[in-house]
Amino acid sequence: MSLPYTALHTFHLAVRFGNLKQTADHLNLTESAVSHQIKRLEAQLGYALFYKSGRQLKTTPEGTHLAQELAHPFDHIDQTLSNTKRQAHNTITIYCLPSLIELWLLPKLLTFKQHYPEYNLIIRYHSSSPDYLDEHCLRIGSHEKESHSPYLTHTLFSAETIPVCSPIYLSQHAELSDERHLRKADLLHDHSEASWFDWFLKQGLSAPPSSKILYEDFHLLKMATLAAQGVALCPEILIQQDLKSGALIALSSQKGNIGRYYAIEQNRYAHSNVRLLIDHIGLDQA
């Protein structure tokens, strides 16, 4: 089967921009012409590449796999063709986990702006990051030990967790000084119950009863823990000041989420200013 280079490149750009209009504008084509190229490519491949999610264009699992395979060669071609006339691009977009923004990222960006005031920075939540990271952005998030990213990854620091609660909650549940009684506590979760389940399993303890206290992200989880709502597994690196001040108390030295870490992801051919920013915020990570 002979696949047209033009259609593959159009698909690559559609993934990169996340919509057909921007793709059409970039290629100086009509939106219908771009749509026709992609539909013809889908017909040749025998499967759908995109589906609509509200106003967003999302790749199917097959589309995601193809996009990942195409990203490197097309990025390399773009890099080669533009290498002799790189244009200045002073805007960098950062997609970051909310839990890292205030405590870790913003202080580093402050010093970066002091050294490089000519750069414009856009900070967005990690959840809004696109499927494709172009050469003018980077993403900062957590990764599991066995996870794989199609992008260049720079490890920052551990995201392993420890069980903590507030002094008020501990005063109401004195039995929690013995970690074997933790399964009877009000266990707080972010995203899913898997972290607590694994933590008890590693301690040789039976899994706790199912909990209904579930928070969307670590920021909300920490707020609930400080408000004496229960016990949470929190990344130790992000609660050091709370532990030092006594706002939170560690109930065990046994860690959870073993192997989890925070990292920066970037396009293999990221613009030089993105690499400059990564070098800056990657120094003295902890």
pLDDT digits (tens, 9 = 90+) for 203-213: 888 877 766 68
Q: Specify whether 266 is located in the same domain as 131.
A: yes
Let me know whether 172 and 246 are in one domain: yes
Tally of structural domains, the chain: 3
Comparing C-alpha atoms, which of 23, 13, 3 is closest to residue 78?
13
238: nearest Cα among 144, 96, 102: 102
pLDDT grade for 160, boundaries at 50, 70 and 90: very high
Is residue 286 assigned to a domain? no
Across the chain, mean pLDDT equals 87
Question: Does residue 179 lie within any of the structural domains?
Answer: yes
Residues 117 and 244 both lie in one domain: no
Residues spanned by the domain of 113: 91-157+261-281
Q: What are the start-end ranges of the E strands in the chain? A: 50-53, 56-59, 91-96, 120-125, 137-143, 152-158, 161-165, 187-190, 214-215, 231-235, 249-250, 261-266
Q: Is the same domain home to 152 and 193?
A: no
CB neighbours (10 Å) of residue 198? 15
Would you say residue 190 has pLDDT above 60?
yes
- Identify whether residues 272 and 133 lie together within a single domain: yes
> Looking at residue 27, what DSSP letter applies?
H
Q: Given pLDDT bands bounded at 50, 70 and 90, which one contains residue 285?
A: very low
Please check whether residue 255 lies inside any domain of the structure: no
Which residue type is seen at 124?
R
C-beta of residue 114 within 8 angstroms of C-beta of residue 228? no
Has residue 192 got a pLDDT over 90?
Answer: no
Q: According to the per-residue pLDDT averaged within each range, which of 42-51, 132-141, 241-250 is highest?
A: 241-250
Q: Which residues sit opposite 95 in a β-bridge?
A: 124, 139
CATH number at residue 47: 1.10.10.10
On whether residue 187 sits in a domain, the answer given is: yes
- Assess whether 150 and 185 both reside in one domain: no
Region of poorest pLDDT, from 26-35, 80-89, 212-221, 259-268:
80-89
pLDDT per residue as tens digits for the range 220-248? 999 999 999 999 999 999 999 999 999 99
**Domain limit, last residue, from 61, 85, 109:** 85
Same domain, 243 and 211: yes
Give the domain-ending residue among 67, 85, 103. 85
78 and 96 both lie in a single domain: no
For residues 51 and 185, give the distance between their C-alpha atoms in angstroms, rounded to a whole number: 43
